[in-house]
């Protein structure tokens, strides 16, 4: 299934709430959030989102491509060729992600399958200050046309994976801003 088909229910303009915490023992901090999800160049999906931290505006962008096979299902090689194929191989969705707060001046590449529940589950790695690389997961639940959820999780070696970000969106009402 093309990523455009997987994320079709999430295409549009959204408003909602961003919840952020750095450590699993911390309380979440909330801010308003907005998102615009679009089909780009026919075979890709962009997710542009806004939020704030400490009263300072932040934003991010995801460019997703690939033919995502459901988790646990072997991809069909005949369906894997062509525009939008994931760089990591057939049957995987791939995202290039930038965020003014989380990634700073660099981008991150993540990849992974679409679950049977329709959630795109992407994983990537970034260098830690010392020791082995840490991991980052982005899960995109496109919902059913009435809203979607994006969660982000930190993967610290030797520790349980924990949620850092949750963006819950619903349809933007006419005249409202992100």
- Domain of 151: which CATH number? 2.40.128.20
Segments forming the whole domain that contains residue 127:
3-171
Identify the pLDDT of residue 117.
87
Classify residue 176: in a domain, yes or no. Answer: no
Determine, yes or no, domain membership for 115.
Answer: yes
Whether 14 is in a domain gets the answer yes
Three-state DSSP state, 3: helix
Tokens describing residue 60: 């991010």
User: Tell me, what's the pLDDT at 84?
Assistant: 37
Residue 82 lies in a domain: yes
Residue 8 lies in a domain: yes
Entry pTM: 0.84
Contacts 24+ apart (CB under 8 A), 138-144: 138/62, 138/95, 138/97, 138/110, 140/7, 140/10, 140/47, 140/64, 141/117, 142/6, 142/7, 142/8, 142/9, 142/10, 142/118, 143/9, 143/10, 144/9
- The pLDDT value recorded for residue 71 is 58
Question: pLDDT tens, 112-163?
Answer: 998 888 899 999 999 888 899 999 999 999 998 889 999 999 999 999 999 9
Q: How many domains does the chain have?
A: 1
Q: What is the predicted pLDDT for the residue at 102?
A: 86
pLDDT in tens, 38-60: 999 999 999 999 999 999 999 99
């Amino acid at each position: 299934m093309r990523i455009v088909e997987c994320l079709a229910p999430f295409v549009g303009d959204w408003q909602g709430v961003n919840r952020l915490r750095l450590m699993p023992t911390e309380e979440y901090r909330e801010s308003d959030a907005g998102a615009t999800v679009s089909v780009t160049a026919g075979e890709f999906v962009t997710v542009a989102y806004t939020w704030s931290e400490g009263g300072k505006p932040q934003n991010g962008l995801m460019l997703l491509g690939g033919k995502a096979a459901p988790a646990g299902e072997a991809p069909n090689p005949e369906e894997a060729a062509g525009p939008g194929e994931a760089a990591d191989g057939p049957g995987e969705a791939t995202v290039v992600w930038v965020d003014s707060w989380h990634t700073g001046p660099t981008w991150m590449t993540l990849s992974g399958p679409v679950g049977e529940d329709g959630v795109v589950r992407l994983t990537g790695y970034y260098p830690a200050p010392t020791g082995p690389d840490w991991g980052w997961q982005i899960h995109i639940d496109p919902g059913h046309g009435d809203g979607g959820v994006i969660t982000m999780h930190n993967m610290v070696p030797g520790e349980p994976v924990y949620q850092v970000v949750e963006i819950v969106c619903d349809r933007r009402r006419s005249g409202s801003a992100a």
